[in-house]
């Protein structure tokens, strides 16, 4: 297990470099000029050229990327081209918002999806058919559309939760939680249905195996069979789906944060991409890549906990 973790960490460093290089190359094709954005549309070409030289934007792209990467290796993510603020500071201010959204969404997806899927497999009948229908609907509905509907229902019509904004946890856990209920619901709906469907199919497969029949014939209580044997074995494929779903939630978080006006990394990278603020886009891209790495690492560790064969390897 330790060798597995060390290998994953070594590969993670390579992945961060590849991801940042891909972002840098893709951003070079995005139309826009930060110098023109700062100076305005009426600035003269000579003034724009001088500002580009001051910002280092006139250098070849490999040189720009090399200087940025050298700064990252020394713990410096650079400065925002537009505001001049350190990118690390901008990320540190907004990171708690995105992490709160992702952590609560992960908790909702894993707990609700597991409970609904396992209950559907054990009970069967109409609940299973309902889950199949809801799963298709959950996959078809994009998170930003769900967010708009939730705002119209629970923030405008009923006025139970705030429509926009974010309350920091230090201001109180209740306002913090209420400000994230609708964003988490919008981000989690699709993931819950996917995990529930996978858990139901896996649990049904386990319930049909011979050793489950032997356990029942031996007089073992049904609750013990479900939670000690069925859940443990059905959790392995569901864990893979959960990891993929959480990684996909990063993309959904960008849209959800903009709909609910949350000051997180999603809204930051949207603004930076529009204004062609490359250091900010690269910094957020590195953070998102690290989140993906952490999620995959946690999934690998949980695999080792649930499956002894992985620990042996």
Report how many helices (DSSP H) and strands (DSSP E) the chain contains, helices first.
14, 0
Q: For the domain 94-312, what is the CATH code?
A: 1.10.3720.10
pLDDT at 153: 86
Phi, psi (5° rounding) for residue 157?
-75, -50
Are 57 and 278 a contacting pair, CB within 8 Å? no
DSSP 105-169: HHHHHHHHHHHHHHHHHHH-THHHHHHHHHHHHHHHS-HHHHHHHHHIIIIIIS--S-SS----G
What are the sequence ranges of the domains in the chain? 2-73, 94-312
Residues shown for the chain: 313
User: Which sign does the torsion angle of CA 23, 29, 31, 37 carry?
Assistant: positive
Residue 63: is its pLDDT beyond 70? yes
Name the band, by pLDDT with cuts 50, 70 and 90, for residue 92: very high
- Please report, rounded to a whole number, the percentage of residues in the chain having pLDDT higher than 70: 91
Q: E strand or H helix at 98, and its extent?
A: helix 87-123
Q: Above 60 in pLDDT, residue 312?
A: no
Q: Residue 94: what are its φ and ψ, rounded to 5°? A: -95, -15
Segment 110-114 mean pLDDT:
88
């Amino acid at each position: 297990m330790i060798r597995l973790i060390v290998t994953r960490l070594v590969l993670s460093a390579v992945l961060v470099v590849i991801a940042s290089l891909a972002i840098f190359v893709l951003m070079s094709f995005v139309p826009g000029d930060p110098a023109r954005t700062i100076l305005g549309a009426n600035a003269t070409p000579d003034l724009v050229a001088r500002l580009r030289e001051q910002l280092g934007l006139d250098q070849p792209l490999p040189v720009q990327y090399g200087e940025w990467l050298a700064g990252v290796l020394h713990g410096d993510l650079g400065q925002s081209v537009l505001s001049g603020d350190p990118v690390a500071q901008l990320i540190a201010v907004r990171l708690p918002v995105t992490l709160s959204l992702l952590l609560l969404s992960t908790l909702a997806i894993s707990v609700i999806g597991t409970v609904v899927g396992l209950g559907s497999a054990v009970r069967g009948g109409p609940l299973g058919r309902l889950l199949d229908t809801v799963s298709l609907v959950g996959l078809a509905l994009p998170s930003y559309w769900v967010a708009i509907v939730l705002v119209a229902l629970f923030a405008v019509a009923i006025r139970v939760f705030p429509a926009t904004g974010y309350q920091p946890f230090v201001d109180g856990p209740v306002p913090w939680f209420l400000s994230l209920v609708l964003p988490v619901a919008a981000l989690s709906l699709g993931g819950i249905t996917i995990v529930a469907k996978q858990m139901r199919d896996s649990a049904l497969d386990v319930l049909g195996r011979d050793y489950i029949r032997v356990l029942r014939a031996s007089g073992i209580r049904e609750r013990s069979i479900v939670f000690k044997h069925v859940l443990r074995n059905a959790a392995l494929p569901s864990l893979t789906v959960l990891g993929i779903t959480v990684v996909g939630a990063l993309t959904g978080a960008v849209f959800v944060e903009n709909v609910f006006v949350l000051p997180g990394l999603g809204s930051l990278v949207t603004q930076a991409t529009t204004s062609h603020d490359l250091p900010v886009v690269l910094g957020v891209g590195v953070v998102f890549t690290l989140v993906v790495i952490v999620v995959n690492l946690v999934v690998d560790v949980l695999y080792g906990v649930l499956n002894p064969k992985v620990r042996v390897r």
